[in-house]
Structures are given as structure tokens and as C-alpha cells.
Amino acid sequence: MYEGVVQDLIDELGRLPGVGPKSAQRIAFHLLQAEPTDVRRLADVLIEVKARVKFCSVCFNVSEDEQCRICRDPRRDPAVLCVVEEYKDVVAIERTREFRGRYHVLGGAISPIDGIGPDQLHVKELMPRLASGEVTEVILATDPNLEGEATATYLTRLLLPMGLRVTRLASGLPVGGDLEYADEVTLGRAFAGRRSAE
Ligand SMILES: [Zn+2]
């Protein structure tokens, strides 16, 4: 345990995903030794990102406006909707340049162990988007792991009776991993070779 505010800093850093107690200490001491202007820049960007960045009211992508850049873009195909877990998956898929439709960001995946079910995700907001009849195909691009599979299976059962074409990414993605870690070529191929969900 360290004195007052230093320990507070270590505690706060330790709450971040992927930062264990040792890393939290290392980052804290790095910040203590850093130039005040460098630390100020980090602090400013943390405050600014929370003040400026919101979530798109339509697809829950990260956005600086009411609607994100992709939802606002009239050149995007309104007939194809790609369902992903997180904002970072949108970034990964956009990098492949294989997809010209729009997205729906769930905000996570079904994980009973963590107490996350469909109600904790943006599933209910997905339904009105499909009700208009504009969307004809839903691509389920959840992570190739247990939670991602469970989420895709749940959504397939929900969406197929609506008469939509429901597709999954082709196999070839590293199993157990995150979509965002797949390289562009692999992810691009998985998109191009997508298959109907059963
Ligand atoms: Zn959007």
C-alpha cells in the first residue's frame, strides 16, 4: 500500500480491463516520473473523450453526433445489417472494406456466468430496425468464442421467423479469439464467404 493519492491512482488504473495490480503500479510510477505537460495531455483527452463521444442513437456505434458517420452515410446499403458485439469490431470490419451495409452494436455478448443476457444488450433496439422491412439480410458477426456463439444462436432463433436472410461469417477465423484480432484478409474472406445460419 502506498500513500494516499498514489494508492488512489493505482486503484483506479487497476480497474481498467487487462491491467493487473503489477501493471497498475508500473503505469502509476511512470506517470509520477513523467513531465507534467504529458500527464496533463492524457488527463485532458480522458475528460474530452467522455464529454464529446456518445453512442449513436440508431446503431450504438461510438459517435460524436446523434447519429454515427455510417448511419448518416446515404451510400451505405440499407438492406444489409451487420450485428457485432463491440465498437472495435466495427473498426475491424471497416478496415476490410468488404462491407457496405450498416451495423448494430450489441454492447457485449450473452454470458450467463457474468449475468449478461439479451436484456443487458441492445437486442430490443434491433427489432424496430428490422420491422420496417428495409433490411433483408442480417449478418451475425459475433466473436468466434463461446459467448459469441451463444449470442449468434440466440439471434438466429429470434430473426429467422421474421423471414430475414440470416448469415454467419465463414469459418477460418481463429476459434476462441476476438473478431478484432483477425487480420484484414482473414476477416475479409470470412465476410465474403458468409453462410446461412440454420
Ligand atoms: Zn450509427
Specify the 3-state DSSP secondary structure of 180.
helix
Residue appearing with cell numbers 479469439: 177
Beta pairing, strands 80-84 & 137-140: parallel
Measured in degrees and rounded to the nearest 5, phi and psi for residue 176 equal 90, -5
pLDDT at 10: 95
List pLDDT tens digits, range 152-173.
Answer: 999 999 999 998 999 998 766 7
Tell me the one-letter amino acid at 60.
Answer: F
Going by C-alpha positions, the residue among 142, 139, 138 that lies closest to residue 152 is 142
Residue 88, pLDDT score: 92
Quick check: 68 pLDDT over 80?
A: yes
Which cell is 56 given? 449513436
The mean pLDDT of 118-140, rounded to a whole number, is 93
pLDDT of residue 1: 77
- 54-74 average pLDDT score: 95
Give the pLDDT score at 176.
66
Placement of cell 446515404 in the chain: 74
CA of 24 to the centre of ligand 1 (A): 34
What backbone phi and psi angles, to 5 degrees, belong to 74?
Answer: -70, -15
Neighbours of ion ligand 1 (CB under 5 A): 56, 58-59, 61, 68, 71
Distance (Å) from CA 123 to ligand 1 centroid: 15
Indicate the DSSP class of residue 174. P
Quick one: pLDDT at residue 196? Answer: 86
Higher pLDDT residue, 2 or 140? 140
Query: Averaged over 24-49, what is the pLDDT?
Result: 95
Residue-wise pLDDT for 80-122, tens only, equals 999 999 999 999 999 988 899 999 999 999 998 888 999 999 9
The pLDDT of residue 124 is above 90: yes
The mean pLDDT of 36-56, rounded to a whole number, is 93
End-to-end CA distance of the chain: 54
Q: What is the DSSP letter of 116?
A: B
Ligand 1 centroid to 64 CA: how many Å? 11
